[in-house]
Amino acid sequence: MAEIRIRNTNERITGEENVRSFLESQEVLYEHWNAGKMPASLQEKFVLSDEEKQEILSVYQPEITDLAERRGYKTWDIVALSDATPNLDELLKKFEDVHTHTEDEVRAIVAGKGIFIIKGTPEVGYFDVELTAGDVISVPEHKPHFFTLMENRQIVAVRLFIETEGWIAHSFADPEFTKA
Ligand SMILES: [Fe+2]
Protein backbone atom coordinates (compact mmCIF):
# COMPACT_ATOMS: atom_id res chain seq x y z
CA MET A 1 0.00 0.00 0.00
CA ALA A 2 1.32 3.40 -0.96
CA GLU A 3 2.60 5.86 1.65
CA ILE A 4 3.34 9.55 1.28
CA ARG A 5 6.17 11.61 2.76
CA ILE A 6 5.99 15.37 2.45
CA ARG A 7 9.58 16.53 2.10
CA ASN A 8 9.25 20.00 3.67
CA THR A 9 7.67 18.77 6.91
CA ASN A 10 8.61 15.07 6.93
CA GLU A 11 4.91 14.39 7.55
CA ARG A 12 3.82 10.88 6.52
CA ILE A 13 0.40 10.00 5.20
CA THR A 14 -0.67 6.36 5.51
CA GLY A 15 -3.87 4.36 5.07
CA GLU A 16 -5.57 3.87 1.73
CA GLU A 17 -8.25 6.57 2.11
CA ASN A 18 -5.82 9.24 3.36
CA VAL A 19 -3.33 8.44 0.61
CA ARG A 20 -6.03 8.43 -2.03
CA SER A 21 -7.52 11.76 -0.96
CA PHE A 22 -4.10 13.42 -0.64
CA LEU A 23 -3.12 12.23 -4.13
CA GLU A 24 -6.49 13.35 -5.48
CA SER A 25 -5.84 16.83 -4.07
CA GLN A 26 -2.55 16.80 -6.01
CA GLU A 27 -4.24 15.54 -9.21
CA VAL A 28 -2.31 12.26 -9.08
CA LEU A 29 -4.35 9.19 -10.01
CA TYR A 30 -4.06 6.35 -7.51
CA GLU A 31 -5.68 2.95 -7.93
CA HIS A 32 -5.08 -0.56 -6.68
CA TRP A 33 -4.71 -3.92 -8.38
CA ASN A 34 -4.78 -7.29 -6.61
CA ALA A 35 -1.07 -8.07 -6.09
CA GLY A 36 -2.09 -11.64 -5.18
CA LYS A 37 -2.83 -12.29 -8.86
CA MET A 38 0.90 -12.43 -9.57
CA PRO A 39 1.97 -16.06 -10.02
CA ALA A 40 3.88 -17.07 -6.86
CA SER A 41 6.95 -17.97 -8.93
CA LEU A 42 7.16 -14.36 -10.20
CA GLN A 43 6.46 -12.41 -6.98
CA GLU A 44 10.15 -12.22 -6.07
CA LYS A 45 11.66 -12.46 -9.53
CA PHE A 46 13.27 -9.32 -10.96
CA VAL A 47 15.03 -10.71 -14.01
CA LEU A 48 12.31 -11.76 -16.43
CA SER A 49 12.28 -13.58 -19.74
CA ASP A 50 10.00 -12.35 -22.52
CA GLU A 51 7.66 -15.27 -21.74
CA GLU A 52 7.47 -14.26 -18.08
CA LYS A 53 6.73 -10.64 -19.02
CA GLN A 54 3.97 -11.89 -21.31
CA GLU A 55 2.60 -14.03 -18.49
CA ILE A 56 2.34 -10.97 -16.22
CA LEU A 57 0.59 -8.97 -18.95
CA SER A 58 -1.87 -11.87 -19.43
CA VAL A 59 -2.60 -12.13 -15.70
CA TYR A 60 -3.40 -8.40 -15.52
CA GLN A 61 -5.08 -8.13 -18.93
CA PRO A 62 -8.52 -7.21 -17.46
CA GLU A 63 -7.02 -4.42 -15.29
CA ILE A 64 -4.86 -3.16 -18.18
CA THR A 65 -7.81 -3.14 -20.61
CA ASP A 66 -10.01 -1.33 -18.08
CA LEU A 67 -7.40 1.36 -17.43
CA ALA A 68 -6.58 1.70 -21.14
CA GLU A 69 -10.24 2.08 -22.10
CA ARG A 70 -10.87 4.71 -19.43
CA ARG A 71 -7.72 6.73 -20.03
CA GLY A 72 -6.75 6.18 -23.65
CA TYR A 73 -3.56 4.14 -23.36
CA LYS A 74 -2.70 2.30 -26.56
CA THR A 75 0.42 0.31 -25.72
CA TRP A 76 1.89 -1.25 -22.59
CA ASP A 77 4.92 -3.24 -21.52
CA ILE A 78 6.78 -4.53 -18.49
CA VAL A 79 9.83 -2.94 -16.93
CA ALA A 80 12.01 -4.87 -14.45
CA LEU A 81 14.89 -3.29 -12.54
CA SER A 82 17.26 -4.80 -9.99
CA ASP A 83 20.95 -5.03 -9.20
CA ALA A 84 21.10 -7.50 -12.09
CA THR A 85 20.16 -4.68 -14.51
CA PRO A 86 23.28 -3.59 -16.40
CA ASN A 87 24.40 -0.08 -15.33
CA LEU A 88 21.65 0.24 -12.71
CA ASP A 89 23.50 3.02 -10.85
CA GLU A 90 23.96 5.06 -14.02
CA LEU A 91 20.34 4.50 -14.92
CA LEU A 92 19.16 5.65 -11.49
CA LYS A 93 21.34 8.75 -11.70
CA LYS A 94 19.68 9.59 -15.00
CA PHE A 95 16.22 8.97 -13.50
CA GLU A 96 16.88 11.21 -10.50
CA ASP A 97 16.56 14.50 -12.35
CA VAL A 98 13.31 16.39 -12.01
CA HIS A 99 11.54 16.29 -15.37
CA THR A 100 8.17 16.45 -17.10
CA HIS A 101 6.46 14.64 -19.98
CA THR A 102 3.80 15.68 -22.47
CA GLU A 103 1.71 12.65 -21.48
CA ASP A 104 0.99 11.19 -18.07
CA GLU A 105 3.37 8.63 -16.58
CA VAL A 106 1.41 5.61 -15.40
CA ARG A 107 2.94 2.70 -13.57
CA ALA A 108 1.32 -0.36 -12.00
CA ILE A 109 3.73 -1.95 -9.55
CA VAL A 110 3.39 -5.75 -9.69
CA ALA A 111 6.47 -6.74 -7.63
CA GLY A 112 9.06 -4.94 -5.49
CA LYS A 113 8.93 -1.25 -4.57
CA GLY A 114 9.63 2.20 -5.95
CA ILE A 115 9.22 5.90 -5.20
CA PHE A 116 7.85 8.75 -7.27
CA ILE A 117 9.01 12.17 -6.11
CA ILE A 118 6.43 14.69 -7.32
CA LYS A 119 6.14 18.48 -7.17
CA GLY A 120 2.86 19.22 -5.43
CA THR A 121 0.87 22.40 -4.99
CA PRO A 122 2.84 25.40 -3.64
CA GLU A 123 1.77 24.84 -0.02
CA VAL A 124 2.81 21.15 -0.16
CA GLY A 125 6.02 21.26 -2.23
CA TYR A 126 7.75 18.04 -3.18
CA PHE A 127 6.39 14.78 -1.81
CA ASP A 128 7.42 11.12 -2.10
CA VAL A 129 4.95 8.40 -3.02
CA GLU A 130 6.35 5.06 -1.86
CA LEU A 131 4.77 2.30 -3.91
CA THR A 132 4.54 -1.44 -3.36
CA ALA A 133 3.02 -4.31 -5.36
CA GLY A 134 -0.58 -3.57 -6.31
CA ASP A 135 -0.20 0.24 -6.35
CA VAL A 136 -1.12 2.00 -9.59
CA ILE A 137 -0.17 5.65 -10.06
CA SER A 138 -0.38 8.20 -12.83
CA VAL A 139 1.65 11.41 -12.67
CA PRO A 140 -0.17 13.96 -14.85
CA GLU A 141 1.44 15.43 -17.97
CA HIS A 142 3.62 18.50 -17.32
CA LYS A 143 3.88 17.74 -13.57
CA PRO A 144 7.55 17.79 -12.45
CA HIS A 145 8.65 14.48 -10.93
CA PHE A 146 11.21 11.72 -10.95
CA PHE A 147 11.33 8.04 -10.05
CA THR A 148 13.79 6.04 -8.02
CA LEU A 149 14.08 2.67 -6.35
CA MET A 150 13.82 1.98 -2.62
CA GLU A 151 16.49 0.30 -0.49
CA ASN A 152 15.76 -3.18 -1.88
CA ARG A 153 16.45 -1.86 -5.42
CA GLN A 154 13.96 -4.22 -7.03
CA ILE A 155 10.83 -3.49 -9.00
CA VAL A 156 8.60 -4.90 -11.73
CA ALA A 157 5.97 -2.55 -13.18
CA VAL A 158 3.51 -2.35 -16.05
CA ARG A 159 3.92 0.88 -18.07
CA LEU A 160 1.09 2.17 -20.24
CA PHE A 161 1.47 4.76 -22.97
CA ILE A 162 -0.77 6.90 -25.14
CA GLU A 163 2.05 7.65 -27.58
CA THR A 164 5.45 6.17 -26.82
CA GLU A 165 7.03 9.44 -28.05
CA GLY A 166 5.03 11.34 -25.41
CA TRP A 167 7.16 9.78 -22.76
CA ILE A 168 10.37 11.65 -23.55
CA ALA A 169 11.72 13.33 -20.40
CA HIS A 170 12.04 17.11 -20.47
CA SER A 171 14.43 18.29 -17.81
CA PHE A 172 12.88 20.69 -15.27
CA ALA A 173 15.50 22.77 -13.47
CA ASP A 174 13.86 23.75 -10.18
CA PRO A 175 15.62 25.93 -7.58
CA GLU A 176 12.91 24.83 -5.10
CA PHE A 177 14.00 21.20 -5.29
CA THR A 178 16.57 19.93 -2.82
CA LYS A 179 17.49 16.28 -2.57
CA ALA A 180 16.65 15.00 0.90
FE1 LIG B 1 9.04 10.54 -15.78
pLDDT digits over 132-156, tens only? 999 999 999 999 999 999 999 999 9
Distance CA 106, CA 103 (A): 9
Q: Distances in Å between the alpha carbon of 57 and those of 12, 53, 79, 126, 165?
A: 32, 6, 11, 32, 22
In tens, the pLDDT along 84-106 reads 999 999 999 988 899 999 999 99
CB 154 within 8 A of CB 46: yes
Query: Ligand 1 mean position to 45 CA, how many Å?
Result: 24
CB 37 within 8 A of CB 26: no
Query: Ligand 1 mean position to 169 CA, how many Å?
Result: 6
Domain architecture of the chain: domains with CATH? 3-163 (2.60.120.10)
Query: Ligand 1 mean position to 95 CA, how many Å?
Result: 8
Return the half-sphere exposure (C-beta side, CA atoms, 13 A cut-off) of residue 60. 32
Query: Ligand 1 mean position to 15 CA, how many Å?
Result: 25
Query: Ligand 1 mean position to 106 CA, how many Å?
Result: 9
Query: Ligand 1 mean position to 100 CA, how many Å?
Result: 6
What pLDDT was estimated at residue 3?
98
Which residue ranges are tagged as binding site for Ni(2+)?
99, 101, 105, 145
What pLDDT was estimated at residue 108?
98
CB 124 within 8 A of CB 7: no
Distance CA 89, CA 167 (A): 21
Query: Which regions of the chain are under pLDDT 50?
Result: none
Query: Ligand 1 mean position to 98 CA, how many Å?
Result: 8
CB 108 within 8 A of CB 157: yes
Which residue ranges are tagged as binding site?
99, 101, 105, 145
Query: Ligand 1 mean position to 118 CA, how many Å?
Result: 10
Distance spanning both ends of the chain, measured CA to CA: 22
Name the E strands within the chain.
3-6, 12-13, 29-32, 75-81, 99-100, 105-119, 126-132, 135-139, 145-148, 155-161, 170-171
What pLDDT was estimated at residue 169?
86
Query: Ligand 1 mean position to 101 CA, how many Å?
Result: 6
What residues are paired with 8 via a beta bridge?
Answer: none
Angle at 3 between CA 17 and CA 64, to 5 degrees: 75
